Structure 1
């Protein structure tokens, strides 16, 4: 008896059940019943579930294959599962009283098998008797004839005259005859007896019969007899032809021999001497065996011969005979006894020894081959079983009527269905309705063509979803079934989608990179073109040149040039090549300083709000570029709210959603957001928002570079730009900036310094653009410098080598030959304290030392003055 208690089916049992558990005891005590019997879990689970469901289960005989003694064995049990309820009537466990009836069931089965085998043997015996060429008669102890075979009826009398009558009545006079005495002796002594009997039938026809009587265990006599009339007649002829027989025996290619009744050799044909090298010698059977038979075969040979002598049957044995060379070969030895016609005793054995050595070796090789093949078949079968159970693909065997007869465990792993659920329903019920017609059509086509086919469909999962499955199906030879192999391609489909998305992102990235390279190069050339324009106009304005009308024209031209400069800066920002002076920025202070400008820019219809976190850490950014970014985003927000709305500038600490976390900012990020309550963007517009020159504004209302510039600024600083928007829900543009590890510098911007009057020293000016060099030279001359110009780095070095000792070096960076950074490095080698200013219309800072002051083209005289004052080349 045992109890399985609680939801965990904790097993408790008595000593009687411990015997059933065998080697599983005592480890089974206190464990889950289904875990203890893991090998029969599928058999027990429905019964346990039924009992836990409150319904008793009784079985008079259940067959289970248990693993309890180290091997799987067939067992049979009679048992009752009874629900056990608590005081509230709730089933808390099950009680089972069980009786192992394996021995009774197996014993009964063996009894039935034995009876069937007996009937089968009797039937075979009947067939043998009916097919015998000899007569057969079965006689009871009182000599009543019980049965005879067809041959006996044909040669003697029919069954209706014989069966059930006494032998002596059927054959009058036979009781006192030689045959009668033989039968009575065999019956009395219960020993086999034989007799060659000459019988004269009622019609006077004589017949010689070879009679053999064999007592049975039931005390009956089984009498076999055959007509030996012709044999007896032939014996005479045989004796007359003995000489001819010897000649014929020598012509036989095998060894032929004759011995007397006790086995003493009487005759060997010449093949004996040819093989053994020995001449004929009248040895006994034992002597011949000792001399010529292999020592390992001698005992078996003599035992077989003595058995043949005892029974009078044929002598049959296989043994090895030594050749004259000393080798042994296998021979099949068969001998028949010859009886004295008068006494019936065996007087001779006529035998032959047939060389079967080659056949034996072939048989041995065949056995080895069969064993090898059997092993291979077993291994392959086991391998198939392992593949069936371990394959991650779903394997199944199904018929063309729509039912599956076998499924592999992978079905449960992939789809969640149990084997019982899968085999109890047609496979079409698991398909997606849209996929059912083409799937069934493919299976039908396979059944007609007999060729494997492949297709895909969606199969239902147990949780209510569908998974895409790729199927390979192939027909079985029986024409009624087919094998199916299904592979879950959900991950592959997901990877394909990811690949498409990655390819789209790559194309977008390549497009943006190409655009960036183009705009970066164009911006560099524009800066060089704008430098003489802005510088010249600035000089004219500072000199108060011309009439009032002339000055208005100069102011207008200078404003247009400044707008062109801003456009170029946006192009550089988009291309991530604008010159950045990244430093620690107090976003709270910067946003507060920008509030008035943003409010004025957006107009009275827009309510500007600031939401900045109090303990916000400083960000790593270029304050000038950041202010420009805020202003650009504010203008975009204003244009998105033509009827007015709310614009919120917020700043808080957070984590960016994607790539920037890996690209930089190991100390975290600060999020600067510009949010509006405008029309919002759809998905297509949001995807293209940062593309250069893309704009939803009307013609002449925007360049389409604002968002792309901010995007480039974020990427250049190691951050990220995100846009959250939907139609009718406004838009929030967020700029994620790395947290700075230094504190912002106190104080506002320094006032523009004024240069000293009078000569301040010699300035070496290097630039490969003549107009840029001329404009810059004029600015330096106005500041009091004596300017020496050079159109390349090599030219500048030649001037130094010629004796020039400059007090200041102002040089372009990107020039043919020696660039500005290399020129500065060479001059600093001899004069470490020489003030050096790098001016460039391109922002590629690669190779520029951080300690070199930089000024971006185009610039005005005031910007150049401020840079030189900072360098110490001019007094404040």
Structure 2
């Protein structure tokens, strides 16, 4: 054995001469340590120490404190009978630099197998260790784990990142079965193919779904590498890397889903576009019809003012002793004219040209106040229930028009229940999310629903129900303007309307009126009674471009005792106003006139005579109202057609300052 030791001494001498390593010779029996100059250099010792016999404790002096215990245990094993020593450890140089050493040693025994010497080589592996550290950091930063497997073995050499990717305990070697146990589908090929399962795979390229061992999370892992074959013995090694491709797999799945559903999404997009185009065409149609009906209403109201006014004049002056049939004929003619005026008013409502006088409204109070009116208007075979929710928000709208709308909807519901049924009018606070109701912006609303359990409507009927002149009633039973009037009022009031109906299951029409954040006001102020026949002696300037309407208006006012000056246009009226004596008390002017509108005339007249009262008359109030359909502040309006009574009452009311 000592001869073998002499051969080892020769090898160490050759390596030491080449500067590849330092050597040591530990005399176990004497407890002495001999080192060469390279060992002394690697340990940071004085070169002179290589010429002396040193105490064995010097072997541990420069070893890093964290590694000393481990190396002492290994050396103790050698002196207790272990044959070989192979350890990597750190030494601290005198300048504080830490170096990595690889010590490889062997024990030598006497004839009684007792260790007598411990010799070995000390190699500087600092650069290799630093390279390994850089590689480890690169793998960790890049999320790449490495592995190496040799056929015939049950373990594989792995990196720390390899273990982290699979959720396994950090290790440098792992059993192949442990690695393959993380696969979700046990029928898939193994992540590390073992030799006894059919030899090496054709390729290391592939991806696997794994269930991480630590947290149970499912991840997709890709494997890439090479198969290295040993030509001499027919064996092979698998050397490769793994990395996480979960995000890529998710993107691939999303892309597949995108491609598979492309046709469906295209169909949906086309349908949505068609719906938008249909809604646009419907809005354009409604706007066009509204403009048309608004213009027609203006002319009709002028004609009706003449017709109704003159019939009313004849009736008031009718000789009581005359033929009663003639008086009935006149009264019937007046009723027909009134009906025509009501139709024109509905046209204005649909076209959103009617003048509104909005006020803050307590909806609960309004609905409760309508109970008697609804009961009188609805058949006894229909049970009426009014259900206002508690703490209803205030809304702002024209209360009279809102009552008309609710009454109109109630009458329509009555007609949909010829055999009786139940009619419910309910109100509640709602906060609409975006797109909750078509064309309705998100926000707070009070929803007023009129619900019946009548015959209901088919979808194609619901689509046309707000069109003017569309009706499902028999000829002569309806004009087709009721719901179009409702639609116009709600839109003009800044609200929205929704209709839900099923044949045989009834209809629900819901008005959404925006919440008003101001203070609630009374529904109706106390009205100062005015003698509808009362006249006066004040001076009134009447401006009207229609000669017949102007003659009718001037005739009534003069009959009431007023001093009247008349003009057919604005410029003439201003000239009369400049030289009027006595001072004009009231300007009564048409709204729509050529060259100068009624509002322009009023502005110029007030500049000449501050404090002048103004009363507008019009059958088409576009110029007297704001863009949202509301009367300008301080505007007083007498809508055409008007009668002797309404004109007398309105004029006296304004002159008295009510």
Scaled by the length of structure 1, the TM-score of the pair is: 0.48
1:604/1:690 CA distance change after superposition, 3 Å: same
1:663, 1:719 within 8 Å by CA — same for their partners in 2?
no
- Residue matched to 1:413: 254
Among residues 782, 786, 790, which one is paired with 2:563 in the alignment? 786
Matched, 1:807 2:600: no
- Residue matched to 2:268: 494
Among residues 482, 490, 506, which one is paired with 1:706 in the alignment? 482
Among residues 461, 467, 470, which one is paired with 2:260 in the alignment? 467
Among residues 15, 19, 22, which one is paired with 2:159 in the alignment? 22
Give 3-state SS (helix, strand or coil) of 2:230's partner. Answer: helix
- Residue matched to 2:101: none
- Residue matched to 1:535: 309
Q: Once the 2 structures are TM-superposed, how far is the Cα of residue 490 of structure 1 from its aligned partner?
A: 4.0
- Residue matched to 2:194: 59
Among residues 617, 638, 653, which one is paired with 1:855 in the alignment? 638
- Residue matched to 2:184: 49
2:544, 2:550 within 8 Å by CA — same for their partners in 1?
yes
Matched, 1:773 2:566: no
Q: Once the 2 structures are TM-superposed, how far is the Cα of residue 507 of structure 1 from its aligned partner?
A: 1.8
Q: Once the 2 structures are TM-superposed, how far is the Cα of residue 623 of structure 1 from its aligned partner?
A: 1.4
2:432, 2:442 within 8 Å by CA — same for their partners in 1?
no
Q: Once the 2 structures are TM-superposed, how far is the Cα of residue 821 of structure 1 from its aligned partner?
A: 0.3
1:832/1:110 CA distance change after superposition, 3 Å: farther
- Residue matched to 1:590: 366
Cα deviations across residues 658-687 of structure 1 (Å, max 9, x unaligned)? Answer: 779897888621111211111001111111
- Residue matched to 2:31: none
Q: Once the 2 structures are TM-superposed, how far is the Cα of residue 833 of structure 1 from its aligned partner?
A: 1.0
Matched, 1:753 2:533: no
Cα deviations across residues 737-764 of structure 1 (Å, max 9, x unaligned)? Answer: 1222231226556254126966431100
1:109/1:689 CA distance change after superposition, 3 Å: farther
Q: Provide the rounded CA distance (Å) in 1 between the counterparts of 2:473 and 2:533.
A: 49
Matched, 1:631 2:414: no
1:659, 1:720 within 8 Å by CA — same for their partners in 2?
no
1:664/1:817 CA distance change after superposition, 3 Å: farther
Give 3-state SS (helix, strand or coil) of 2:380's partner. Answer: coil
Cα deviations across residues 455-493 of structure 1 (Å, max 9, x unaligned)? Answer: xxxxxx9xxxx935xxxxxxxxxxxxxxxxxxx344333
1:88-127 alignment to 2 at 5 Å?
A: 106=228, 108-109=230-231
1:836/1:409 CA distance change after superposition, 3 Å: closer
2:431, 2:443 within 8 Å by CA — same for their partners in 1?
no
Cα deviations across residues 247-275 of structure 1 (Å, max 9, x unaligned)? Answer: xxxxxxxxxxxxxxxxxxxxxxxxxxxxx
Q: Once the 2 structures are TM-superposed, how far is the Cα of residue 826 of structure 1 from its aligned partner?
A: 0.7
Give 3-state SS (helix, strand or coil) of 2:634's partner. Answer: coil
2:309, 2:642 within 8 Å by CA — same for their partners in 1?
yes
Among residues 445, 455, 466, which one is paired with 1:669 in the alignment? 445
Give 3-state SS (helix, strand or coil) of 1:642's partner. Answer: coil
- Residue matched to 1:286: none
- 572-581 or 507-516: which moved more? 507-516
Q: Provide the rounded CA distance (Å) in 2 between the counterparts of 1:505 and 1:638.
A: 30
Q: Once the 2 structures are TM-superposed, how far is the Cα of residue 863 of structure 1 from its aligned partner?
A: 2.5
Q: Provide the rounded CA distance (Å) in 2 between the counterparts of 1:489 and 1:23.
A: 47
- Residue matched to 1:201: none
Give 3-state SS (helix, strand or coil) of 2:260's partner. Answer: strand
1:660, 1:720 within 8 Å by CA — same for their partners in 2?
no
- 618-627 or 832-841: which moved more? 618-627
1:655, 1:661 within 8 Å by CA — same for their partners in 2?
no
Matched, 1:742 2:519: yes
1:543/1:584 CA distance change after superposition, 3 Å: farther
1:664/1:112 CA distance change after superposition, 3 Å: closer
2:164, 2:170 within 8 Å by CA — same for their partners in 1?
no
2:160, 2:170 within 8 Å by CA — same for their partners in 1?
no
Q: Provide the rounded CA distance (Å) in 1 between the counterparts of 2:180 and 2:267.
A: 37
Among residues 815, 819, 825, which one is paired with 2:597 in the alignment? 819
Matched, 1:864 2:647: yes
1:89-488 alignment to 2 at 5 Å?
A: 106=228, 108-109=230-231, 412-415=253-256, 467-468=260-261, 488=262
Give 3-state SS (helix, strand or coil) of 1:603's partner. Answer: coil
Q: Provide the rounded CA distance (Å) in 2 between the counterparts of 1:819 and 1:606.
A: 50
Q: Provide the rounded CA distance (Å) in 2 between the counterparts of 1:749 and 1:598.
A: 24
- Residue matched to 1:843: 621
Q: Once the 2 structures are TM-superposed, how far is the Cα of residue 580 of structure 1 from its aligned partner?
A: 0.9
1 or 2 for the larger relative contact order (CA 8 Å, sep ≥6)?
2
- Residue matched to 2:356: 580
- Residue matched to 2:167: 32
1:752, 1:866 within 8 Å by CA — same for their partners in 2?
no
- Residue matched to 1:833: 611
1:761, 1:785 within 8 Å by CA — same for their partners in 2?
yes
1:721, 1:734 within 8 Å by CA — same for their partners in 2?
yes
| Unaligned residue ranges in structure 2 (runs of 5+) | 1-144, 148-152, 172-178, 217-224, 236-244
Cα deviations across residues 246-303 of structure 1 (Å, max 9, x unaligned)? Answer: xxxxxxxxxxxxxxxxxxxxxxxxxxxxxxxxxxxxxxxxxxxxxxxxxxxxxxxxxx
- Residue matched to 1:618: 394
1:834/1:724 CA distance change after superposition, 3 Å: same
Matched, 1:688 2:464: yes
| Unaligned residue ranges in structure 1 (runs of 5+) | 1-10, 37-43, 66-72, 76-80, 85-90, 94-101, 114-388, 393-407, 417-460, 469-487
1:775/1:752 CA distance change after superposition, 3 Å: farther
1:854/1:18 CA distance change after superposition, 3 Å: farther
Give 3-state SS (helix, strand or coil) of 2:475's partner. Answer: coil
2:388, 2:426 within 8 Å by CA — same for their partners in 1?
yes
Q: Provide the rounded CA distance (Å) in 2 between the counterparts of 1:413 and 1:35.
A: 34
1:863/1:659 CA distance change after superposition, 3 Å: farther
1:693/1:759 CA distance change after superposition, 3 Å: closer
| Greater C-alpha Rg | 1
1:758/1:748 CA distance change after superposition, 3 Å: closer
Q: Once the 2 structures are TM-superposed, how far is the Cα of residue 616 of structure 1 from its aligned partner?
A: 1.3
Matched, 1:524 2:298: yes
Scaled by the length of structure 2, the TM-score of the pair is: 0.63
